[in-house]
Amino acid sequence: MDLSFSQEQEAFREQVRAFIRDEMPPHIAAKAAVDGHFEHAEVMEWHRVLARRGWAAPHWPEEYGGTGWDAARRFIFSEELEKSGAPALSPFGLAMVGPLIIQFGTEAQKKRFLPKILAGEEVWCQGYSEPEAGSDLASLRTSAVDDGRGNFVVNGQKTWTTYAQYADWIFCLVRTNPGVKKQAGISFLLIDMKTPGVKAVPMLTTGHTPAFCDTYFDNAIVPKENVVGPVDGGWTMAKALLGHERTMIAAIGHSTRALIRVKSIARQHGLLDDPAWRGRIARLEIELEALRVQNYRALAGAQLGHAPGPESSVLKIRGSEILQQALELAADLMGPACAAWFPPEGVLLPQEQWVGSAFNYLRASTIYGGSNEIQRNVIAKWILGLPAQG
Amino acid sequence: MDFELTQEQKMLADSAAGFAKKTSPVERLRRLRSMPHVEGVEQRHRAENDPVGWEKGVWAQMAELGWLGLFYPEAVGGLGLRFFDASLVLEQLGTTLVPEPYVPSVILGGWPLYRCGSDEQRRAFLAPMIEGRTSLALAWQEQGSRYDVARVEARATRAPGGFSISGEKVFVENGHAADHLVVSARLDDGSLGLFVVDPGQPGVRLLPFGTMDGRRAAQVTLRDVAAPEARRLAAGDAAEALAWALDLAAAAACAEGLGIARTVLEMTASYLKVRKQFGVPIGSFQALQHRCVDMFVQTQLLESTSILAAVRADDADADERRRAVSIAKARLSVGGKFVTQQSIQLHGGIGVTDEHDVGLFFKRMQVLCASYGDEEHHVRRFASREPFEASVGR
């Protein structure tokens, strides 16, 4: 039994910290220091800094530009990035479609797409959810009909397509066969956002960021070679992807950073030594530390090559809840000041400027990536073996 | 980073699991537990009201298996393993509520003896306990002292040939049955002293009583009790040894609590599959499924924090130890209570009857949460670490 990282792993952690310290552009570092919000261009700028070092996609196989790091190093890397307040890279290319193309794509698809994802030259977004297909994703209706001339004609609407307004490509689950069981008629299709008939319409989130879009497809012509894997075989592939990098989903580094921010705000309001506030902060920190050990257990399992099982849903559930609570605590500590909504400089402490936005936006953390209720369904069925819901 | 049990640890846990199931199923606690008689109620398991509540034969068996000296060095008859190994046994003892006084005797009584006893005293008082021939108790709490080992009013004044001890000790677990009591008392210079007192000595009066979980404890009154020099444990810092013993006991409570949580989670999930209402198993209802999943989530976290506490509990670095133990013990009150409370809720009316086992697990959990520092105590201790601001994740 050993709960610590090895000396060699800690040395690696130092290497990552030094890299962040030395290579993060000053204007990004200035925002990171006060937990500011990053514009799309800044996220991509940071992506390219990481890419130059060969660290943009640590989890990819080395032959495609990954690092060859084991699960522990990937965890440390991701934890340190989160703890630094660095911009979170867009996950859609690096963490989602990239690994899927690596696993199921053709040689031509790999050559065409992977290098540009890695380099941050092409930005991706995700077309899964639809207005009538959320948690029941398999009931999606966006259709792709074979035109007999080597193309699919795509019609329908995707929603919550995060930052689609900046995306060059979208990966979609589309219905290619309406005549079979709903899971069996779905294909995984890559669509160029410049295709005539494709339109992304941004909307505001409660955090006042234009993170969400509705993306419409009106007779968009997409070459059939853009299907990844077998036609009608998209559902299984998309599900396989859900198990990917499950040891990171607790976002321990993110919550650690949030708690440091909470304590700093508490101090600046003179509340850090107030017993009631201090107790509330300590309780949340205790929850985080419990989850940290839970995460280490999953990580140690991954190090031994155990595939993450449904119990990793525990990491998602608690990780997202704790992150929400941390931002709620930050907002509560601000007292009446938390009401200020994007005020001019000087009204709030620098660290407080984006608390209101993040506090609101992070309500999404218990919804995205499979809502926490869906995670609970997964545990009920696959771990507890409870009977199917009526 | 390594969370795999060694072959030896697996065997230890397996043998403890087998012992719990075969030698001491929950029925045994029912047979031995303290239970005031209620007129006119027929009880399926008639309480015999055993005056001790545990059995010397089983205690000796546990000694035979090496469990009573797992983390004590071989020089005093122990196995020289770590506290983590003991936590594997404790977890299993929790699954069937084994009533033998492991924490009161091995940890609370034994640890101060080990830390502050001379070689001779260890041989005289610790070794026989490790061999299963005697049991111990620690008389440390006083009225109003709550969890503070230093709030001691009992006095040990100089007397010819040694000391004379007077004072009142409360909630002495296993105090009713122990062969030796380890007693804390203030010395003339104001510092804390530890003494070995026998319950049969003149001036010692025991008031035994039953506890909610079916076990027993005693209030101990000491009036001019003679303690010769040879009975003073003076080879170590008494206050430090007591605080450490309490940390070990808290870690033990977390391990036992994990065993309890696992057991009632399993009982509850099984019940949801067979109990039918509205023509279907109630486990098909999403509201109940999700509650049961939350019990699973809490049980997982209890496992993580129990490991954390057990690994750090015998760490000589007191800061590391206190931090880990307080995280785990505070969480036991959050997660452990939730799991046992919900196990009753999901069983419905039957869960509130004495004849169903979930109530026994619930009671034991409540006692564990209230012992060796409750939630408030450990949250406060965790929050009092300095530097508080710069210590997230460390």
Lowest mean pLDDT among A2-16, A105-119, A330-344, B34-48: B34-48
Q: Which of A5, A247, A384 to mutate to test the interface with B (most CBs of B within 10 A)?
A: A384
pLDDT at B45: 54
Q: Are the C-beta atoms of B193 and B153 separated by less than 8 Å?
A: no
Q: Are the C-beta atoms of B257 and B94 separated by less than 8 Å?
A: yes
- CA-to-CA separations, B229 to B117, B123, B157, B195, B226, in angstroms, rounded: 12, 16, 12, 9, 10
Split at pLDDT 50, 70, 90, the class of B241 is very high
Split at pLDDT 50, 70, 90, the class of B38 is confident
Q: What element of type H or E holds A321?
A: helix A313-334
Q: Both tokens of residue B263?
A: 């057991």
pLDDT at A238: 87
pLDDT at B43: 63
Cross-chain residue pair B379–A390, CB shorter than 8 Å:
no
Pairing status of strand B136-139 against strand B180-187:
parallel
Q: Where are the beta strands (DSSP E) in B174-230?
A: 180-187, 192-197, 204-210, 216-228
Share of chain A above pLDDT 70, in %: 99
pLDDT at B36: 81
**Does residue A245 carry a catalytic annotation?**
yes
pLDDT at B48: 58
Cross-chain residue pair A384–B301, CB shorter than 8 Å:
no
Split at pLDDT 50, 70, 90, the class of B44 is low
Lowest mean pLDDT among A240-254, A333-347, A348-362: A240-254
- Classified as helix, coil or strand, A128 is coil
pLDDT at B96: 98
- CA-to-CA separations, B369 to A173, B4, B250, B295, B375, in angstroms, rounded: 50, 28, 9, 17, 7
> Is the predicted pLDDT of residue B203 greater than 80, yes or no?
yes
Q: What element of type H or E holds B136?
A: strand B136-139
Task: Find, among B173, B10, B210, the residue nearest to B92 by Cα.
Answer: B10
pLDDT at A255: 97
Please give the angle made by the CA atoms of A331, A259 and B323, to the nearest 5 degrees: 135
- Neighbour tally for B267: CB within 10 Å: 18
Q: Which of B284, B300, B388 sits opposite A314 (nearest CB)?
A: B300
Task: Output phi, psi for B134, to 5 deg.
Answer: -135, 170
Q: Mark residue B41 as left, alpha or beta (left: phi above 0; alpha: psi -120 to 50; beta: remaining).
A: beta
Q: Which of B5, B289, B297 sits opposite A314 (nearest CB)?
A: B297
Q: What is the mean pLDDT of chain B?
A: 96
Q: Which of A2, A292, A388 sits opposite B2 (nearest CB)?
A: A2
Cross-chain residue pair A279–B296, CB shorter than 8 Å:
no
When pLDDT is averaged across residues B169-180 and rounded to a whole number, the result is 98
Q: Both tokens of residue A387?
A: 């009977």
Q: Both tokens of residue B152?
A: 């001691």
When pLDDT is averaged across residues B291-305 and rounded to a whole number, the result is 98
**What residue of A is the nearest CA neighbor of B265?**
A384
Residues of chain B in Cβ contact (below 8 Å) with chain A: 1-5, 84, 269, 272-273, 280-281, 283-286, 289-290, 292-294, 296-297, 300-301, 304-305, 307-308, 310-311, 326-327, 330-331, 379-380, 382-383, 388-389, 392-393
Q: Which of A4, A278, A317 sits opposite B297 (nearest CB)?
A: A317
Cross-chain residue pair A72–B1, CB shorter than 8 Å:
yes
- Which residues from B are below 8 Å from A377, CB to CB? 286, 289
> Is the predicted pLDDT of residue A243 greater than 70, yes or no?
no
Q: Both tokens of residue B260?
A: 């309890």
Q: What is the DSSP letter of B175?
A: T
Q: Both tokens of residue B300?
A: 């997982």
Among the options A82, A130, A245, A352, which is catalytic? A245
When pLDDT is averaged across residues B355-369 and rounded to a whole number, the result is 97
> Is the predicted pLDDT of residue A244 greater than 80, yes or no?
no
Q: Both tokens of residue A96?
A: 């989602």
Task: Output phi, psi for A327, to 5 deg.
Answer: -70, -35
When pLDDT is averaged across residues B357-366 and rounded to a whole number, the result is 98
Paired strand residues for B139? B183
Residue with tokens 């991954």: A302
Q: What is the pLDDT of residues A262-279, one digit of tens each?
A: 999 999 999 999 999 999
pLDDT at B47: 53
Separation of CA A198 from chain center: 24
Cross-chain residue pair A285–B308, CB shorter than 8 Å:
no
Paired strand residues for B183? B139, B195
Q: What element of type H or E holds A187?
A: strand A186-192
pLDDT at A20: 98
Q: Which of B290, B311, B380 sits opposite A279 (nearest CB)?
A: B380
- Which residues from A are below 8 Å from B84, CB to CB? 1
Cross-chain residue pair A318–B308, CB shorter than 8 Å:
no
Q: What is the pLDDT of residues A79-88, one digit of tens each?
A: 999 999 999 9
Q: Which of B85, B303, B392 to mutate to test the interface with A (most CBs of A within 10 A)?
A: B392
ipTM higher than threshold 0.90: yes
Share of chain B above pLDDT 90, in %: 93
- Classified as helix, coil or strand, B225 is strand
Q: What is the pTM of this model?
A: 0.96
Q: What is the DSSP letter of A86?
A: P
pLDDT at B46: 54
Cross-chain residue pair B307–A3, CB shorter than 8 Å:
yes
Burial A104-126 (b: 16+ CB within 10 A, else e): bbeeebeebbbeebbebebbbbb
Task: Find, among A243, A352, A389, A153, the residue nearest to B288 by Cα.
Answer: A389
Q: Mark residue B157 as left, alpha or beta (left: phi above 0; alpha: psi -120 to 50; beta: remaining).
A: beta
Pairing status of strand B276-277 against strand A169-175:
unpaired
CB-based burial of residue B184 (10 Å sphere; 0-12 exposed, 13-18 middle, 19+ buried)?
Answer: buried
Q: How far is A29 from chain B (nearest CA, A)?
A: 20
